[in-house]
């Protein structure tokens, strides 16, 4: 019998029916085949944090090496691999994926829908990301890790100056993360535009969703550039093309243009989701809607657009025409404006609200102070004359760690603290969290503030050692001490997560009294997210007097409500795919194909043949809304 | 010997340093404003009704202030850039070419008269007060020449020509270093920059175009023979001798230089012998092979090289 949820079908009976429809198979098989965005999102987040820890350990090794001049602790070769792995892991395996992972978990809940769009693609995205990351790290342990930096400038990364397979491993890892990130972006855009709760018109969606929408479009436009760049590199190395070889009519700067056309937006792909975290946290703990919602949205959108017009500021020292540089200076300066406006709006929200000083809001304060400093040094390096001195010095190392740790990791840690009760049903421990904020703030600034000075005093980046007596010794030692303090704060955070998972205080549905829809359902949410699809009448639905719902989705099949893109008017009911093993198998076979194509171009051919059967079976047409005849009374 | 953008001794570095001061003041002012507003938001006592109207006015003026600040800094940056481009205008520049190799610097002083051209390595000597134009090239990967005391950096890119302008304003001995990651020994790719009086510079140049002195003592003579007959001469050049290799640094005045192996070690007898005995342990991965020599042969070679003043 086909039944829909509604006033006469609610409560425990509905819960039982929906749980049966939306649950995964038990055990290992269920673990592998799951397409539940919450399970996939959780493991995505956990994996990203593992990579954060690994890359953090590499950072500590580098800091120990640099603690004193002429240190012989690790060889030049090892050091170069280590800093390449640190950057590559942090950028490709931690920062971008963790933001997408948080979105994969949160966006369907915030939108009031039962499942992310294209859930099998989502599962596939995770597996590809995992396999790509594991592949890179196994290669590193086997001493074939990348050696030419996370940026792999040619010709240093080309066949002549980087023989062996190290750079191929790096380039192929890019392919893995491209596939994973593009898949994620498509799902998130579709979910945000088509699966919003009824009435959640575009001017009512939470600011985090706006952030993710902008970010996902940026991924779609930025990733093809690096895809092209890394494919050219692989072709140069594997089949003897000459895209980057000036001796044969290629161009070494082509790489830099393509790489930074991706690489600069990449920074904002990491930062804009963090902006979304900050907005959600500030709103909840200031107990008022974020001040200047339209301005915040426009800021995010304009950052997203401007981010594509600044890539050349990474190339001020390459001798391109100065008139062109002027444009990129102006564009780089201009992006400080939307950033400054956002900062103002958050502070104004706190100023005019009734703030509760819980840990997530303390992370926001820590973020504002640190990020503003990074933004202001960003204004400095936007100027061509200053950049010619500061570029590739430790000043730049300081600058982008202020922006990336201050601007993205602090908000992320705040966000994990904030949504931890939703993820797990338990609160994170207090006052441990507050001490954690303080410790990380001190450790961070102790590490990175001195680097501004070491840079101005002439210390270049990416050196495995430096001579004594240059005035860099003490500053480097302080940075190293700071790095250990900062690492301790991260360990403390993970420790807090570990103890709170087991012994944390039970949270309830909405422990922070927040306004967005993810807090409407239980913590952690049931497999189907919401028993009835909510109707939204304002930007802060859970602070409204009434909480209407829209009934009518079938319960014995996986069904979603699809709404219109602008006004979120209920449009059609659509099927959501069931758990399936093919994404996992397809990911394994694709991994084999990708790794094979490091060694032979023919792997592209037989890899495609290998991939065909699982894709055919994955997409084998059937009607998922069809109800089995014995249950049908229609 | 220093390497610091905070102590400008050249016209270009001075312009940049002044610009940095301006940026520091303006950005510092904005940072202070943010901190004050944040502090006020945190510690404000009276939390009455929400006053979004007042906030809207404030946000508008804040946008105005940021725009003004950024506009001012952008204009200042353009003017500084212009000053940099014209810093040495009006005088005939000293023309040089620096070619980067993994991991050392080939330095050529150009002259219309080919016989007056000088080639050296890992050391740049400059006359005080005369503009310098350095043509930059790379023999292998991308490098970047950064002499922070004199000017900002400029990349050396294979297949492209770039150039760097300098105008030294103070005599002194500075250190410079490769600023673009260029492989294994990127950390050990430095060079000495020596700014001296025009007279001293002219004397140095005049001596540099002379053939190297002939070996005088029997030990030096033996060293000369070894340098010419072992593999040394295949890669290195010494003025006025049969050694004219171009793979490695020119050795015509190697004993006159302040450091060895691209700024890695001081130039003394002990370090020189250590370097020649086993270049790979001193700077792993560099292109100089280990040439087996008996201790007395090594002494002879260094005795000869020490005469190349």
Angle at A39 (CA atoms; ends A34, A40), nearest 5 degrees: 75
Which whole-number Å values give the CA distances from B107 to A293, A516, B136, B249, B283, in the listed order? 59, 65, 10, 9, 21
CATH classification code of B218-305? 2.60.40.420
A452-505 tens-digit pLDDT: 999 999 999 999 999 999 999 999 999 999 999 999 999 999 999 999 999 999
Q: Is there a contact between B181 and A465 if contact means CB atoms under 8 Å apart?
A: no
Q: Encode pLDDT of B21-57 as tens digits.
A: 999 999 999 999 999 999 999 998 877 666 788 888 9
Per-residue pLDDT, averaged over B71-92, amounts to 94
Per-residue exposure over A472-505, b if at least 16 CB sit within 10 Å of its own CB, e if not:
bbebbbbbbbbbbbbbebbebbeebbeebeeebe
**Is the Cβ–Cβ distance between A347 and A371 less than 8 Å?**
no
Check: CB of residue A563 under 8 Å from CB of residue A569. Answer: yes
Structure tokens, A131: 């396999």
Cross-chain residue pair A76–B185, CB shorter than 8 Å: yes
Axis-axis angle for helices A432-456, A359-382 (nearest 10): 10
Across the interface, of B13, B140, B179, the residue whose CB is closest to A392 is B179
Quote the minimal CA–CA distance from B271 to chain A in Å: 16
As a whole number, mean pLDDT of residues A193-210 equals 97
φ, ψ (nearest 5 deg) of residue A383? -80, 125
Residue B60 touches chain A, beta carbons under 8 Å: no
Distances (CA, A) of A241 to A157, A231, A235, A238, B257: 14, 11, 6, 8, 43
Is B157 within 8 Å of B141 (Cβ atoms)?
no
A351:B153 CB<8 A: no
Interface mutation target, options A321, A458, A472, chain B, most CBs of B under 10 Å = A458
pLDDT score, position A634: 39
pLDDT of residue A57: 98
- B62 and A340: CB-CB below 8 Å? yes
CA B18 vs CA A304, B86, B88, B151: distances in Å: 33, 16, 17, 13
For residue A334, give both structure tokens. 């201009």
Q: What is the mean pLDDT of residues A415-420?
A: 98
- pLDDT at position A2 is 67
Whether residue B50 and residue A352 make contact (CB cut-off 8 A), yes or no, is yes
Inter-chain touch A77–B63, beta carbons under 8 Å: no
pLDDT > 60? residue A240? yes
The Cα of B232 is separated from the nearest Cα of chain A by a number of Å equal to 24
Give me the pLDDT at residue A621, please.
Answer: 81
Q: How far apart are the CA of A340 and the nearest CA of chain B, in angstroms?
A: 7
Q: Check residue B196 and give its pLDDT.
A: 97
B68 and A CB contact within 8 Å: no
Mean pLDDT of A289-309: 95
- pLDDT score, position B89: 86
Cβ contact A348–B78 (<8 Å): no
User: Residue A45 and residue A40: Cα distance in Å, rounded?
Assistant: 9
Cα–Cα distance between A392 and B138 in angstroms, integer?
Answer: 18
Q: Check CB contact of B238 with chain A, cutoff 8 Å.
A: no
Residues shown for chain B: 309
What does the buried/exposed string (b/e) look like for B154-174 if buried means 16 or more CB atoms within 10 Å of the residue's CB? bbbbbbbebebbbbbbeebeb
Asked if B105 contacts B164 with a C-beta cutoff of 8 angstroms, the reply is no
Whether B141 and chain A come into contact, CB under 8 Å, resolves to yes
Write the DSSP symbol of residue A202: G
On the 0-12 / 13-18 / 19+ scale of CB atoms within 10 A, B199 is exposed
Residue A180 has pLDDT above 60, yes or no: yes
**Cα A110 to Cα A106: distance, rounded to the nearest angstrom:** 6
Indicate yes or no: CB of B41 within 8 angstroms of CB of A461: no
Tokens 């915030």 — which residue?
A110
Q: What angle do CA A506, A512, A514 make, to 5 degrees?
A: 130
**In A, which residues are within 8 Å of B30 by CB distance?**
340, 372, 376
- For testing contact with chain A, the best of B141, B143, B151 (most A CBs within 10 A): B141
DSSP string, A414-479: HHHHHHHHHHHSBPPPTTHHHHHHHHHHHHHHHHHHHHHHHHHTTPBSS-S---TTSS-HHHHHHH
User: What is the distance in angstroms between the Cα of A353 and the nearest Cα belonging to chain B?
Assistant: 7
Please say if the pLDDT value at position A632 is more than 70.
no
Contact B144 A292 (CB under 8 A): no
- Cβ within 8 Å, pair B16-A385: yes
Among A385, A393, A540, most B C-beta atoms within 10 A, so best to mutate, is A385
Q: Where are the domains of chain B?
A: 1-196, 218-305
Mean pLDDT over A118-145 rounds to 96
User: pLDDT tens across A63-72, in order?
Assistant: 999 999 999 8
List the single residue in A with minimal CA-CA distance to B41. A351
Instruction: List the beta bridge partners of residue A506.
Output: A426
Interface check B285 vs A, CB under 8 A: yes
Q: Rounded mean pLDDT of A345-361?
A: 95
Same fold, B1-196 and B218-305: yes
- Residue in B67, B73, B78 closest to A326 by CB: B78
| Tokens representing residue B28 in the block | 């510092």
The 3-state DSSP composition of chain A as helix, strand, coil percent (nearest 5) reads 65, 5, 30
> How many CB atoms sit inside 10 A of residue B25's CB?
9
Rounded Cα gap, residues A304 and A355, in angstroms: 30
Q: What is the CA radius of gyration of chain A?
A: 25
Q: Do B163 and A319 touch (CB under 8 A)?
A: yes
pLDDT for res A627 = 58
Residues in chain A with CB shorter than 8 Å from the CB of B20 are 380, 386, 389
CA A157 to chain centre: 26
The answer to whether B191 contacts chain A (CB < 8 Å) is no
The whole-angstrom distance between A33's CA and the closest CA on chain B is 44
Do the chains contact at A319 and B2, CB–CB below 8 Å?
A: no
Mutate to test the interface with A, among B17, B27, B98, B263 (most CBs of A within 10 A): B27
Return the pLDDT at A622: 75
A633 pLDDT band, cuts 50/70/90, is: very low
Q: Do B4 and A458 touch (CB under 8 A)?
A: yes
In B, minimum Cα distance to A251 occurs at B159
**Percentage helix, strand, coil for chain B under 3-state DSSP, each rounded to 5:** 40, 20, 40
| Tokens describing residue B283 | 């700077």
Can you tell me the mean pLDDT for A222-237?
Answer: 94
Mean pLDDT across chain A: 95
What digits encode the pLDDT tens for the residues A74-88? Answer: 999 999 999 999 999
Q: Do A153 and B148 touch (CB under 8 A)?
A: no
Collect all residues of chain B within an 8 Å Cβ-Cβ radius of residue A355.
41-42
Contact call for A344 and B62, based on CB within 8 A: yes
Residue to substitute from B78, B143, B162, B189, interface A, most A β-carbons within 10 A: B78
Best to test chain B binding among A73, A375, A389 (most B CBs inside 10 Å):
A389
**Sequence-distant (≥ 6) Cβ neighbours of residue B43 within 8 angstroms:** none
Distance CA A375, CA A398 (A): 11
Inter-chain CB proximity A333 and B74 less than 8 Å: yes
Crossing angle of helices B11-43 and A359-382, in 10° steps, is: 160
Q: What is the CA radius of gyration of chain B?
A: 26
Segment B148-166, tens digit of pLDDT: 999 999 999 999 999 999 9
Compare all CA atoms of chain B with the CA of A347 and give the residue at the minimum distance: B38
Mean pLDDT of A415-441: 97
What's the CA gap between B134 and B298, in Å, rounded? 36
pLDDT band, residue A628 (cuts 50/70/90): low
CATH superfamily of B1-196: Cupredoxins -  blue copper proteins (2.60.40.420)
Beta carbons of B38 and A369 less than 8 Å apart: yes
Binned at pLDDT 50, 70 and 90, residue B105 comes out as very high
Complex ipTM tops 0.90: yes
Asked if A458 lies within 8 A of B5 by C-beta distance, the reply is yes
Q: Which two tokens stand for residue A100?
A: 């997408």
CB contact under 8 A, A252 and B158: yes
Site from A317, A370, A375, A455 to mutate, B interface, most B CB atoms within 10 angstroms:
A317
Residues A28-57: tens digit of each pLDDT: 999 999 999 999 999 999 999 999 999 999
Buried b (16+ CB within 10 A) or exposed e, A281-306: bbbbbbbbbbbbbebbbebbbbbbeb
H-helix or E-strand containing B162?
Answer: strand B162-166
| Under 8 Å between Cβ of A152 and A233 | yes
What is the nearest CA distance from A442 to chain B, expressed in angstroms? 17
Sign of CA dihedral B248, B249, B252, B258: negative
The whole-number pLDDT of residue A1 equals 52
The alpha carbon of residue A227 is apart from the nearest alpha carbon of chain B, in Å, by 22
Tokens of A366: 């820590």
Q: Rounded to an integer, what distance in angstroms lies between the CA atom of residue A286 and that of residue A288?
A: 5
- The pLDDT tens digits of the residues spanning A265-297 come to 999 999 999 999 999 999 999 999 999 999 999
Contact B187 A149 (CB under 8 A): no
User: Cβ–Cβ of B187/A466 closer than 8 Å?
Assistant: yes
Neighbouring C-beta atoms of residue A324, cutoff 10 Å: 11
How far is Cα of residue A474 from the mean position of the Cα atoms in its chain? 35
User: Measured in whole angstroms, how far is the alpha carbon of residue A216 from the centre of its chain?
Assistant: 10
Chain A residues within 8 A of B81 when measuring between CB atoms: 322, 325-326, 384-385
**Pick from B20, B55, B181: CB nearest A352:** B55
This prediction's pTM: 0.96
Q: What is the mean pLDDT of residues B3-10?
A: 96
């Amino acid at each position: 019998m086909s039944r829909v949820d509604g006033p006469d079908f609610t409560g425990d009976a509905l819960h039982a029916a929906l749980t049966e429809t939306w649950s995964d198979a038990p055990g290992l098989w269920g673990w592998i085949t799951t397409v539940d965005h919450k399970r996939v999102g959780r493991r995505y987040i956990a994996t990203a944090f593992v990579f954060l820890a690994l890359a953090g350990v590499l950072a500590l090794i580098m800091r120990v090496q640099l603690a004193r001049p002429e240190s012989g602790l690790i060889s030049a070769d090892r050091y170069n691999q280590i800093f390449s792995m640190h950057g590559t892991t942090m950028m490709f395996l931690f920062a971008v994926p963790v933001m997408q992972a948080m979105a994969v978990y949160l966006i369907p809940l915030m939108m009031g829908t039962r499942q992310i769009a294209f859930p099998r693609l989502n599962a596939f995205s995770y597996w590809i990301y995992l396999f790509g990351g594991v592949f890179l790290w196994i290669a590193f342990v086997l001493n074939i890790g990348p050696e030419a930096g996370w940026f792999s400038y040619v010709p240093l990364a080309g066949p002549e100056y980087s023989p062996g397979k190290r750079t191929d491993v790096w380039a192929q890892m890019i392919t893995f993360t491209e596939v994973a990130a593009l898949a994620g972006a498509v799902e998130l855009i579709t979910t945000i535009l088509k699966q919003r709760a009824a009435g959640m018109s575009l001017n009512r969606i939470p600011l985090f969703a706006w952030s993710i929408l902008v970010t996902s479009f940026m991924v779609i436009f930025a990733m093809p550039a690096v895809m092209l760049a890394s494919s050219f590199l692989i072709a140069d190395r594997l089949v003897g093309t000459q895209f980057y070889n000036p001796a044969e009519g290629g161009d070494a700067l082509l790489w830099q243009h393509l790489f930074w056309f991706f690489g600069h937006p990449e920074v904002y792909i990491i930062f804009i989701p963090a902006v979304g975290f900050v907005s959600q946290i500030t709103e909840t703990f200031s107990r008022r809607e974020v001040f200047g919602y339209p301005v915040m949205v426009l800021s995010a959108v304009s950052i997203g657009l401007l981010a594509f017009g600044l890539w050349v500021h990474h190339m001020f020292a390459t001798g391109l025409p100065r008139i062109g540089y002027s444009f990129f200076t102006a564009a780089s300066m201009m992006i400080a404006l939307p950033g400054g406006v956002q900062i103002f709006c958050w502070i104004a929200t706190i100023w005019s609200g009734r703030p509760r000083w819980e840990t997530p809001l303390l992370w926001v304060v820590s973020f504002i102070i640190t990020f503003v400093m990074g933004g202001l040094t960003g204004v400095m390096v936007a100027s061509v004359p200053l950049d010619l001195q500061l570029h590739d010095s430790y000043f730049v190392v300081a600058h982008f760690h202020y922006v990336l740790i201050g601007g993205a990791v602090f908000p992320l840690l705040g966000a994990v603290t904030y949504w931890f009760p939703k993820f797990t049903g338990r609160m994170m421990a207090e006052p441990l969290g507050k001490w954690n904020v303080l410790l990380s703030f001190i450790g961070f600034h102790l590490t990175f503030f001195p680097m501004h000075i070491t840079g101005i005093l002439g210390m270049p980046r990416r050196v495995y050692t430096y001579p004594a007596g240059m005035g860099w010794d003490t500053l480097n030692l302080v940075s190293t001490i700071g790095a250990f303090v900062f690492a301790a704060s991260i360990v403390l955070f993970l420790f807090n997560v570990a103890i709170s998972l087991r012994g944390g205080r039970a949270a309830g549905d909405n422990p922070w009294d927040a306004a967005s829809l993810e807090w409407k359902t239980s913590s952690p949410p049931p497999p189907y997210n919401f028993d009835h699809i909510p109707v939204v009448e304002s930007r802060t639905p859970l602070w409204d007097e009434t909480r209407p719902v829209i009934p009518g989705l079938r319960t014995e099949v996986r069904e979603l409500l699809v709404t219109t893109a602008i006004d979120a008017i209920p449009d059609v009911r659509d099927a959501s795919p069931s758990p399936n093993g093919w994404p996992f198998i397809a990911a394994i076979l694709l991994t084999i194909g990708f790794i094979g194509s490091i060694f032979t171009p023919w792997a592209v051919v037989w890899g495609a043949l290998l991939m065909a059967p699982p894709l055919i079976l994955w997409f084998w047409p059937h009607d998922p809304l069809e109800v089995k005849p014995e249950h049908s009374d229609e | 010997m220093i390497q610091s953008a905070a102590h400008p001794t050249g016209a270009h570095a001075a312009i940049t340093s002044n610009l940095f001061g301006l940026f520091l003041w303006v950005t510092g002012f904005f940072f202070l404003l943010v901190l004050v507003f944040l502090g006020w938001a945190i510690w404000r006592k009276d939390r009455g009704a929400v006053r979004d109207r007042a906030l809207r006015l404030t946000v508008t003026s804040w946008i105005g202030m940021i725009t003004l600040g950024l506009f001012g800094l952008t204009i200042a940056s353009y003017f500084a850039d212009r000053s940099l481009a014209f810093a040495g205008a009006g005088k005939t520049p000293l023309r040089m070419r620096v070619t980067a190799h993994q991991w050392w610097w080939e330095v050529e002083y150009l002259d219309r008269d080919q016989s007056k051209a000088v080639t050296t390595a890992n050391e740049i000597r400059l006359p005080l007060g005369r503009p310098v134009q350095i043509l930059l090239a790379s023999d292998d990967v991308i490098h970047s020449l950064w002499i922070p005391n004199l000017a900002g950096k400029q990349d050396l890119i294979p297949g492209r020509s770039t150039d760097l302008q300098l105008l030294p304003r103070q005599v002194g001995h500075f250190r410079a270093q490769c600023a673009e990651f260029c492989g294994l020994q990127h950390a050990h790719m430095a060079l000495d920059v020596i700014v001296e009086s025009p007279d001293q510079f002219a004397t140095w140049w005049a001596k540099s175009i002379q053939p190297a002195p002939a070996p005088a003592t029997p030990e030096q003579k033996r060293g000369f023979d070894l340098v010419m007959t072992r593999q040394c001469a295949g890669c290195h050049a010494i003025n006025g001798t049969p050694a004219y290799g171009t793979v490695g640094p020119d050795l015509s005045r190697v004993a006159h230089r302040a450091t060895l192996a691209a700024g890695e070690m001081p130039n003394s007898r002990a370090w020189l012998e250590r370097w020649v005995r086993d270049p790979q342990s001193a700077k792993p991965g560099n292109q100089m092979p280990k040439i087996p020599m008996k201790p007395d042969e090594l002494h002879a070679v260094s005795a000869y090289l020490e005469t190349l003043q």
